[in-house]
């Protein structure tokens, strides 16, 4: 039986450990944190599936690869729910983009950007009036008279997904080694808590923790607030376009919302700053006054792992597979990246 070490139990590591153990590999999963994922960018993320909003400031591939997520996640979530009995909520009913009257030009600019990058999909972008906005998100109608509707967008509940993946991985007999800091990753070998170990193949999915192996990798700091807002009922992701701060609200079950996100070229993992709280929360209050009575359940920061071109990498060689660089698009691109990595694993990581 072939022995595989997966290093890093973020979204990539969990998905690959789940898939590889289902294929019959004997998998050991190492992570420096616990199975709760408190050391992952994956746990902090808003986990929106937003190919249109992302491509406005990214390469076209992000859109093409990202569309795959809208088909792939429902299949995987159904399989995970059947296996573990854990529900993972998600929504694929599109997203709404609004702007205050004074900032209307930002909406127009966003539409122009989309027309330039995805001209073949621009017909899918719907300009909505007050009546349509009332139909989609009635609580936004008092403050906004129009906006955009992006039908091919959605979100998933990352906390529930990471927990379901942890259960499924353990059910399949993966040996999960939490609190295990791994260094010196090389083909067939690694060092864990100072001790050398060998495997038939090592899969490196350490996110920003892989800087020693990937010097060109950088972390891009992001901060989010997780709120419970009993007075707010939004059913889909909402973006507020603003000349200075861009705000999004991603729904979770039971009137919970993830509010984000800052994007700062810094590798600091320090807690969320007062400035970011002020910017995020004042923009949020301008979106919906019901957020005034919300309680802040978490204020989280982490770094998105990014390559110089902000696109992911999948590099296979005999005895080692390196997968990284998901940047802002961990949930949007992991379907494409995981399928590509599984192919590279079979093709490049074994002697022919």
Ligand X SMILES: Cc1cc2nc3c(=O)[nH]c(=O)nc-3n(C[C@H](O)[C@H](O)[C@H](O)COP(=O)(O)OP(=O)(O)OC[C@H]3O[C@@H](n4cnc5c(N)ncnc54)[C@H](O)[C@@H]3O)c2cc1C
Do the beta carbons of residue 297 and residue 228 sit within 8 Å?
yes
Q: Contact with ligand X (CB under 6 A): which of 4, 16, 29, 46?
A: 46
32 near ligand X, rule: CB under 6 A = yes
Q: b or e along 91-127 (b: 16 or more beta carbons within 10 Å of the residue's beta carbon)?
A: bbebbbbbbeeeeeebbeebbeebeebbeebeeebee
Helices (H), the chain: 11-22, 41-44, 51-55, 60-84, 104-117, 130-136, 158-171, 274-287, 330-348
329 near ligand X, rule: CB under 6 A = yes
Residues in the chain: 352
Minimum distance, C-beta of residue 248 to ligand X, in the bound complex (Å): 8
**Which pair of tokens denotes residue 3?**
């022995």
Instruction: Give the contact letters, 250-279, x = binds to ligand X (CB under 6 A), - = no.
Output: ----------xx------------------
76 near ligand X, rule: CB under 6 A = no
Minimum distance, C-beta of residue 7 to ligand X, in the bound complex (Å): 5
Please say whether the dihedral angle defined by the alpha carbons of residues 111, 107, 248 and 308, taken in this order, is positive or negative. positive
Site for ligand X in 294-323 (CB under 6 A): 302, 304-305
Instruction: Give the contact letters, 184-213, x = binds to ligand X (CB under 6 A), - = no.
Output: ---------------------xxx-x----
Q: How many residues bind ligand X (CB under 6 A)?
A: 41
The smaller minimum CB distance to ligand X, of residues 108 and 266, is found at 266
Q: Contact with ligand X (CB under 6 A): which of 41, 125, 160, 247?
A: 41
DSSP-based helix, strand, coil % in the chain, nearest 5: 40, 30, 35
Say how far apart CA 54 and CA 237 lie, in whole Å: 13
247 near ligand X, rule: CB under 6 A = no
**Which pair of tokens denotes residue 30?**
């190492």
Give the end-to-end CA distance of the chain in Å, rounded to a whole number: 17
The DSSP element (H or E) to which 90 belongs, if any, is strand 90-91
Minimum distance, C-beta of residue 12 to ligand X, in the bound complex (Å): 4
Minimum distance, C-beta of residue 129 to ligand X, in the bound complex (Å): 28
Q: Contact with ligand X (CB under 6 A): which of 59, 103, 181, 279?
A: 181
Minimum distance, C-beta of residue 48 to ligand X, in the bound complex (Å): 4
The smaller minimum CB distance to ligand X, of residues 42 and 133, is found at 42
Chain residues binding ligand X by CB under 6 A are 7-13, 30-33, 39-42, 44-48, 181-182, 205-207, 209, 222, 224, 260-261, 302, 304-305, 324, 326-332
């Amino acid at each position: 039986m072939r022995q595989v070490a997966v290093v890093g139990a973020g979204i990539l590591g969990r998905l690959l450990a789940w898939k590889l153990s289902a294929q019959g590999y004997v998998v050991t999963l190492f992570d420096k944190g616990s199975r709760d994922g408190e050391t992952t960018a994956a746990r902090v993320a808003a986990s929106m599936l937003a190919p249109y909003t992302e491509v406005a400031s990214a390469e076209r591939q992000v859109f093409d690869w990202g569309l795959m997520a809208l088909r792939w996640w429902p299949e995987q979530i159904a399989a995970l729910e059947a296996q573990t009995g854990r529900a993972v909520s998600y929504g694929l009913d599109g997203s709404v983009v609004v702007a205050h009257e004074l900032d209307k030009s930002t909406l127009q600019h966003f539409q122009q950007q989309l027309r330039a990058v995805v001209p073949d999909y621009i017909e899918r972008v719907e300009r909505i009036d007050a009546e349509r906005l009332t139909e989609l998100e009635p609580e936004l109608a008092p403050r906004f008279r129009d906006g955009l509707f992006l039908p091919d967008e959605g979100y998933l509940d990352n906390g529930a997904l990471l927990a379901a993946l942890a259960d499924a991985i353990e059910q399949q007999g993966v040996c999960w080694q939490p609190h295990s800091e791994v260094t010196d990753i090389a083909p067939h070998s690694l060092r864990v808590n100072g001790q050398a170990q060998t495997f038939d193949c090592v899969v490196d999915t350490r996110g920003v923790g892989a800087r020693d192996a990937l010097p060109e990798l950088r972390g891009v700091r992001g901060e989010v607030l997780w709120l419970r807002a009993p007075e707010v009922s939004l059913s889909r992701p909402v973006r507020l376009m603003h000349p200075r701060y861009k705000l999004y609200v991603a729904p979770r079950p039971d009137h919970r919302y993830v509010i984000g996100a800052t994007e700062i070229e810094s590798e600091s993992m320090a807690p969320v700053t007062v400035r970011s709280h002020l910017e995020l929360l004042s923009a949020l209050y301008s979106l919906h006054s019901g957020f005034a009575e919300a309680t802040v359940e978490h204020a989280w920061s982490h770094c998105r792992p990014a390559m110089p071109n902000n696109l992911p990498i999948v590099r296979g060689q005999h005895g080692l597979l390196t997968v990284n660089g998901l940047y802002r698009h961990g949930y949007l691109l992991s379907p494409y990246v995981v399928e590509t990595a599984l192919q590279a694993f079979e093709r490049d990581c074994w002697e022919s």
